[in-house]
Every structure is written in C-alpha cells, then in structure tokens.
Amino acid sequence: MLECNSMQQLFNLSGRVAIITGGAGLLGYQHAAALAGLGALPILLDVSEAGLEESQRRLLEETGVDAQVHVADITCLESLQAVREQVIAAHGRIDILINNAARNPKVEDADGKNFSRLEEFPWEQWQQDLDVGLGGAFNCAKVFGQQMVRQNRGVIVNIASDLGVIAPDQRLYRVEGRELDQQPVKPVTYSVVKHGLIGLTKYLATYWCEQGVRCNALSPGGVYAGQDDVFVSKLTQLIPFGRMAKADEYRGAIAFLCADASLYMNGCNLVMDGGRSVW
C-alpha cells in the first residue's frame, strides 16, 4: 500500500510548466486553476489579450499563482515557436500541454439564417473551424512536443467532447413551427474536430511513447454557461445525472491526466459527461 506522502507526490506538479491554449475561455481558466493548485505554473495562450488578462487576474486571486499569458495564434507555427522560445528562455522546460482552444460554431445567426445545416454550411467556416480546433492542436503538439522529446518527458491532453464519441442529437436545436429542412443543427465541424482530436490523441500516444511523452484526451459533456432554458431542459433529459456539468467539475480529471497519478495511462479518452454517452 502506498504511503500518504507517496499518494500526495502522485499529484504534485511543483516546478512543472503547463501550456494551456484557449486560456481566456470558460474551461481554459478551469484547467489552469486545477494545475496551479497542484504547484504548476500555467502559461495561457489565446488570441484575446483582454480575456487572458482576466484569466490571469482570476488565477492570482484564487490560487495565488501569477500565471503567464501570451497572445498567440495557434494556427501559425511562427507564433507558437516564438512562445516556445520565450518559455524555454524563462523556465527551461515545458512539461504539460493542454490543447483546449477551439471554435464553437453557432447553430444559427441572430437573424435565423440556417448556415449550420450541412447543405448550407460555408466552406470557409469549415476551414476556419478545423484550422483552429484540429490544426491548432496539431501545431501545438508539433512545436511544444519537440521540447518534451528533448526532455524525455511530457504530457499532452487534448480536450475533446462527448460529441467526439456520439453524434449530436439534432432534436435539441429544433424550433417549433419550422420545416425540417429549415431547422437549425449543431454544425458538422464540431463533431469532426472532436472526433479528430481523439484520433490525434491515439497517434501522438504511440508516436513519442519511447521518448517519454504520453497523450490522453478528456471528453467533457455539456457545461452550463447560461444557455437557453429550453435547450437546457432538453439536454438534461438525455443525461442520467439530470443536469449539465459545472465549469469547475473537470478540475479533478485534468489534475489526474497531467500528474504522475496517470503515469501508465496513454492513448485513452476519459469521457466525463454525466453518463450521457452510455444512455
């Protein structure tokens, strides 16, 4: 049986440097708070300078950790390489990468235009969504993973979704009184990106395994963030727990995936959706 101090050591991230993309977003902040609470230094990347500053302020207030922030475009290798150089110059290492950044395409525009339907979905939107959600994760793994290889140690976590395991239930988005071919839907790119991240996870898990770099995915369910009451009511009926997730409920999962507690876990997709995908 492991001693108490050994168990604590499994979740000790003191001195480790963690890069988190989409750091200005809802879950990006939560991931950073989880790691900061275990002693890691979060380094947040995002295109929103104001959002990064807010996440930085909140983290300092909640955890006492002064996280670093970088305005960066994850679709641009040069932007990421510049961040890597700055991080290595300042800290000499990169231990953790959480690929969290993604676009969340709307179901329909404010004017009700049904661009989300497959027949109407713009090619430009397809490219943009995949460039950020999937291409960005590839770029970050490529740029920051190389440093992990040099260290012979590192952890990559890709944030997928329960919709990377199951298909969207388009009934959730239906509007009463509209013809079927005019109904809004969850855009195809969300599913493609999230399924793709799980595939990327398996690829990376075996690609750099001999160099000590492991990769897993986390697939959250729907997180409550003030969504429409009708939508929330429909969705919660599909979840055995009968509710959506709270934003901070994924902290434990992130801590486990990034810490030595999951040292023998590689290429897995941790589904945490309140049971929705098993119903």
- Return the C-alpha torsion angle 231, 234, 238, 241, nearest 10: 80
User: Is pLDDT at 269 greater than 80 in this prediction?
Assistant: yes
Q: How far apart are CA 68 and CA 70, in angstroms?
A: 7
> What confidence score (pLDDT) does residue 1 get?
46
Instruction: Please state which of the ranges 40-54, 97-111, 239-253 shows the lowest mean pLDDT.
Output: 97-111
User: Is pLDDT at 222 greater than 60 in this prediction?
Assistant: yes
User: Is 215 within 8 Å of 266 (Cβ atoms)?
Assistant: yes
The average confidence (pLDDT) of the chain is 95
pTM (2 decimals)? 0.95
3-state class of 108 per DSSP?
Answer: coil
Give the whole-number percent of the chain exceeding pLDDT 70: 96
> Residue 159 CA to chain centroid, in angstroms?
3
Q: How far apart are CA 160 and CA 167, in angstroms?
A: 13
Q: How far apart are CA 197 and CA 144, in angstroms?
A: 17
- Nearest alpha-carbon partner for 224 in 27, 24, 22, 21: 27
Residue ranges of E strands in 95-188: 96-99, 154-159
Residues 100-124 have a mean pLDDT of 80
Query: Which DSSP category does 135 fall into?
Result: I
Amino acid at 28: G
Please give the biggest Cα pair distance in the chain: 63
Q: 4-270 belongs to which CATH class?
A: alpha beta
> What confidence score (pLDDT) does residue 142 get?
98
